[in-house]
Amino acid sequence: MGREPAIDLNVPVGDRVAQTTCYMCACRCGINVHLRDGPDGKPVVRYIEGNRDHPVNKGVLCGKGSAGIMQHYSPARLRAPLRRTGPRGSGEFEEISWDEALSLATEWLGTVRKSDPKRLAFFTGRDQSQALTGFWAMKYGTPNFAAHGGFCSVNMAAGGLYTFGGAFWEFGQPDWDRTKYFMLFGVAEDHASNPIKIGIGKLKERGAKVVGINPVRTGYNAIADEWVGIRPGTDGLFVGALIHELFRNQTVDLDYLVRYTNAPWLIIDDPGAPDHGLFARGADGDPLLYDQDSGTLASALAGGTSAALTGVRTLADGRTARPVFMLLAERFLDAQYSPEAVADRIGLEAGAIRRIAAELARVAFEEEIVLDQPWTDWTGRRHETMIGRPISMHAMRGISAHSNGFQTCRMIHILQILLGSIDCPGGFRYKPPYPKQAPPWLLPHGALCDVRPQEPLGGPHLGFPLGPEHLLLDGDQPSRLDKGFSWDAPMSAHGLMHMVINNAAKADPYGIEVLFMYMANMAWNSSMNVPGTLDNLTTKDEAGNYRIPKIIYSDAYYSEMVPYADLILPDTTYLERWDCISLLDRPISEADVAADSIRWPVVEPDRDVRGFQSVLIDLAGRLGLPGFVDDKGAPKYPGGYPDYMVNHERQPGIGPLAGWRGADGDKTGIGEPNPDQLERYKANGAFFATHIPPEAAYFKHANKAYLEWAKTMGFRGETSPTIFQLYCEPLQAFRLAAEGHGKHQPPERARKRIATYFDPLPFWYEPFEGQMVDTARFPLHAITQRPMHMYHSWGSQNAWLRQITTANRLYIHTSVGKRIGAKDDDWVWLTSHQGRVKCQVKLMDGVNPHTVWTWNAIGKRRGAWALDDDAPESKQGFLLNHLISELLPEGGGGYRYSNSDPITGQAAWFDLRVAIEKADGAYETVPRFEPTGTADLPPAPDKLAFGKQFRTPR
């Protein structure tokens, strides 16, 4: 019955399309935002899709990005600047004008700058504007600045940069089109969300083998050809055993080691001497190797030698030295790294480890790829082809978030290098502006002796120390509030944001006046030990004043952190803002293209909010910070962030954006500011991309064409190669100090720790929590993963995304459920040395039997995020954070180190050890915190019919 109704098949999507950059996570995909004008003339977002021309996502868009509309129209958006009126945590605020807010902030910040700039701590969260925020903090003059890398992935960044001048993180990618064997370590949904998905799709299509090394078999690991359900924190044992096998089977790329690494460099062998374990150097300071052609010691930096990888050599002073290769081989051929020795501990049979090593050898050396692409190396030698060892690897959080993460990350890179697979066809490829030197030639700044009122810092805060002389110390005390670049965390290239609130409240090493934070939910899912953190945010001195006297916070949403701040600077949504994803910072480059991008307001805010970066520039003008004001003290960037993005020059001709520079927009990389630059970006889909010449596409670390191109782009100051540091000499420099050598001496409590962990060759050690707590009492490991459809706390307030997961469960192995008598949805107590949490379980087989896990940042606090008080996120949802201490248990001497990697200070979230027991019936999680107030946000709607306004009249 009935005829088919007529359907209008040609309804235009919107009235126009605006192209900008997504911000539903850190992936930075290009998006087409379809806008339709509403009856009031204001545009409404109709639809968001991926930009097909964009180098990152090539048209696709993930589950988060496709739900961006609900983020943009979230009822949790802040509406105007707020000043706290009730006690901290009460959520009692009054709305104030921007004039008042900025005057107050200027007064607070100005007073501190005039007296003692270190009493400002400025830390930023998931923002992508560190080139600006770091510059601001430098010009302000406080040593206390970092972004959130210390609790995110500094082990990956530092482990990579110290080893090969690149990193897994965002600075490189597998050669998706050519790789034949891909190993994915500890990745759930971290950086590079869409590129990994696109890449894995390609690999599966081509029949390349995907090996997932992860305690949990979900997401990427669920479709891997082989799942290695490793015990958390033992990746270093697994990789060490693979290296053991490669050495034992003589399946390593000797030519590659000689050409590109410090494998032939000679190491002084003189135990007890102040230079034991350092590179043997010639009179000119160059490291030495043994040249077989001439039979003499020669500079390792000269090129053109026939370097030996073996043999004990005698130095000019009569002492002996051995090449790195021998030390490395002896380290990993040791029986402690044999497959048999490590099998039980990692939870994998020895035979499987041997098989994987043999598969790696097969693909690397018997299935090599040869590209008919001539190229010239840095020594001037021409190669007719590019030879690829088509093995690639990627690793992130599962390596990073352990206190052995730096050394484990280095070990993975060494595995890649032994196979000859870094930046070769089919291997792991750098993304420009990487490679940098290994480590980058950039030292940290901010020693207290260099911090003066009203004066900028002498250089950037964050860098790469080469030895104790580069630490930022005040006597033997840390210069930085977070104790970064002190003996506690000497190579903390991203700072330790996770320690800031604790240290500030305890005045350890000193107290501060103003805590200024941006986009970091530190009162909840971004802090370890949430109850302790809330105490630290609210603790008062004898006079009844908060020990952290003033807190300024900027966020777009009413997150759990907002109620704990005194002054709120409301930020915009990602569709309302200017941003700059800069080659000076964390660009969007791909292996074949150097690229950067912008965000721009595709819709104007309908509330009294301002983009944080423009506010920061406004404050800089009011404070008169050098670099932000002209000779007469007038603001240099009155137009805010877009003005700065175009007109700021870090060095002559080098600014935040690399595209369309020069007065006519015809220069790339280096060129004078172009007033039309942002329009050019908008017209090009909000990004700029320039291709690397084909002869420069691989072996970038040693490729003459690449090194010269990188110099013309301003990426490198010189054309000397990046030489892979299998042996990391800076670590030995710290270790020598710990053994009593040199004038920079660690405190006694730190000697053994430095001497143990600062091994110039990577090694595996038990993560600290496992070393220090009774593992018989806490037999299980507990970790979190990020769901593919949510990003930190942002996603789980999203009306669509929260329908996918409204509350997290604790996933436990079937055998654990059987042991404690728990079935799906039963309640359990999960206990650590720090505290306990009551939560619901779900049983599964695809998890390491010694591991429990949950989705991160889904648990929410009542009152926050405009969710109802009975929302499952707060009633059943929970955080593991409550179980994780920001400090390690007392070790010898009563000192409590931060719960971090001893080298980089990376927060060791995944070291957590727990016990589980069945709980009696309960219907809500414990601890369940009191509701925060709601800052008078209007109640959220009880129904959404978004899109009704777009319905075609029928």
Partner 1 sequence: MTTLPATTDKKLGLVIDLDTCVGCHACATSCKEWNTGGYSAPLTDQDPYGADPHGAWLNRIHSYEVGEGAGSRTVHFPRSCLHCEEPDCVTVCPTGASFKRVEDGIVLVNPDTCIGCKLCSWACPYGAREYDYDDGVMKKCTLCVDRIYNETIPEEDRVPACVRACPTGARSFGDLGDPDSAVSQKVAARGGFDLLPEFGYKPVNKYLPPRKPASVTASARAAPAEPPVEADGSAAERLFAWADRVLSR
- State the nearest-atom distance from the C-beta of 178 to partner 1, in Å: 15
Question: For partner 1, which residue of 194, 234, 502, 785 counts as binding (CB under 8 A)?
Answer: 194
CA 412 to chain centre: 17
Interface with partner 1 (CB under 8 A), residue from 301, 333, 352, 926: 333
- Estimate to the nearest angstrom the gap between the alpha carbon of 26 and the chain centroid: 10
Q: Applying CB under 8 A, which of residues 18, 22, 33, 61 lies at the interface with partner 1?
A: 61
187 binds partner 1 (CB under 8 A): no
Residue 756 within binding range of partner 1, rule CB under 8 A: no
* Nearest distance from C-beta of residue 741 to partner 1, angstroms: 29
Distance CA 660, CA 662 (A): 7
Does position 304 bind partner 1 by CB under 8 A?
Answer: no
For residues 341 and 287, give the distance between their C-alpha atoms in angstroms, rounded to a whole number. Answer: 36
Distance CA 150, CA 172 (A): 20
Please tell me whether residue 302 binds partner 1 under the rule CB under 8 A. no
Q: Which is nearer to partner 1, 104 or 350 (CB)?
A: 350
The least CB distance from residue 241 to partner 1, in Å, is 13
CA nearest to 642, candidates 685, 619, 673:
673
Enumerate residues 6+ apart whose C-beta is below 8 A from 12: none
Residues in 818-857 at the binding interface with partner 1, rule: CB under 8 A: 844-846
* Site residues (CB under 8 A) for partner 1, limited to 860-899: 866-868, 870-872, 875
Q: Nearer Cβ to partner 1, position 743 or 954?
A: 954
Residue where the block lists tokens 């890649």: 416
- Asked whether position 254 contacts partner 1 by CB under 8 A, the answer is yes
Of 309 and 754, CB closest to partner 1: 309
Min dist. Cβ of residue 6 to partner 1 (A) = 10
State in angstroms the smallest separation of the CB of 176 from partner 1: 12
**Strand arrangement of the beta sheet that strand 16-21 belongs to:** 16-21, 30-37, 43-50
Backbone angles phi, psi at 391, to 5 degrees: -120, 130
* DSSP-derived secondary structure for 498-525: GGHHHHHHTTSS---SEEEEES--TTTT
**465: burial class by Cβ within 10 Å (0-12, 13-18, 19+)?**
buried
Q: How big is the chain, counted in residues?
A: 954
What are the CA-CA distances from residue 348 to residues 213, 218, 339, 783, 849 (Å)?
11, 19, 9, 19, 12
Tokens 């597998």 locate to: 174
User: According to CB under 8 A, which residues from 781 to 800 bind partner 1?
Assistant: 788-789, 797, 799-800
Size of the site for partner 1 (CB under 8 A): 119
Q: Report if residue 539 touches partner 1, rule: CB under 8 A.
A: no
Edge-first strand listing for the sheet containing 226-228: 226-228, 209-213, 181-185, 391-395
Q: Kindly state whether residue 651 participates in binding partner 1, applying the rule CB under 8 A.
A: no
Which of residues 52 and 823 has its CB atom nearest to partner 1 in the complex?
52
Are 457 and 143 a contacting pair, CB within 8 Å?
A: yes
Q: Select from 79, 276, 355, 918 the one that contacts partner 1 (CB under 8 A).
A: 355
- Closest contact distance (angstroms) between CB of 797 and partner 1 is 8
- Does the footprint of partner 1 cover residue 39 (CB under 8 A)? no
15 belongs to the binding site for partner 1 (CB under 8 A):
no
| 308 touches partner 1 by CB under 8 A | yes
- Assess 942 for contact with partner 1 (CB under 8 A): yes
User: Which is closer to partner 1, CB of 388 or CB of 467?
Assistant: 388
Judge contact between 656 and 582, C-beta under 8 A. yes
C-beta separation of 277 from 265 below 8 A: no
**Interface region with partner 1, contact rule CB under 8 A, candidates 90-98, 147-155, 191-199, 572-580:** 191-199
| Greatest Cα pair distance in the chain | 102
Which of 16, 42, 52, 607 binds partner 1 (CB under 8 A)? It is 52
- Contact in structure between 389 and 427 (CB atoms under 8 Å): yes
Q: Nearest-5° angle of CA 707, CA 712, CA 718?
A: 50
Subset of residues 564 to 603 that bind partner 1, contact rule: CB under 8 A: none
Q: Does 293 bind partner 1 (CB under 8 A)?
A: no
- What is the footprint of partner 1 within residues 360-379 (CB under 8 A)? 361-363, 365-366
| 341 binds partner 1 per the rule CB under 8 A | no
Within a 10 A sphere around the Cβ of 605, how many other Cβ atoms?
Answer: 19
**From the list 804, 820, 887, 922, which residue makes contact with partner 1 (rule: CB under 8 A)?**
804
Using the minimum distance from each CB to partner 1, give the nearer residue, 29 or 609.
29
72 binds partner 1 (CB under 8 A): no
Beta strands in 74-229 (DSSP E): 82-84, 93-95, 120-124, 145-146, 172-174, 181-185, 209-213, 226-228
Tell whether residue 948 is a contact of partner 1 (CB under 8 A): yes
d(CA 360, CA 419): 8
Q: Does 462 bind partner 1 (CB under 8 A)?
A: no
Determine, following the binding rule CB under 8 A, whether residue 941 of this chain makes contact with partner 1: yes
Report the residue number, 120 or 230, with the smaller CB distance to partner 1.
230
Amino acid identity, residue 753?
Answer: R
The region of 148-156, 188-196, 581-589, 649-657 touching partner 1 under the rule CB under 8 A is: 188-196
Compare residues 217 and 480 and give the one whose CB is closer to partner 1: 217
The nearest distance, CB 102 to partner 1, in angstroms, is 32
> What DSSP string describes 694-706?
GGGSS-TTTBHHH
* b/e code 294-312 from CB counts within 10 Å (16+ = b): eeebbbbbebebebbbeee
Is residue 330 close enough to count as binding partner 1 by CB under 8 A? Answer: yes
Pull the structure tokens for residue 119: 């009493």
Q: Give the Cα separation of 129 and 615 in Å (integer).
A: 13
Contact 589, 595 (CB under 8 A): yes
Instruction: Pick from 31, 138, 501, 801 the residue near partner 1 by CB under 8 A.
Output: 801
Which of 120, 816, 211 has the alpha carbon at shortest distance from 500?
120
393-422 residues in contact with partner 1 (CB under 8 A) are none
Contact between 197 and partner 1 per CB under 8 A: yes
Residues 210-239, interacting with partner 1 (CB under 8 A): 210, 217-223, 225-226
Nearer to partner 1, 653 or 846 (CB): 846
Contact window for partner 1 (CB under 8 A) among 379-387, 591-599, 652-660, 938-946 = 938-946
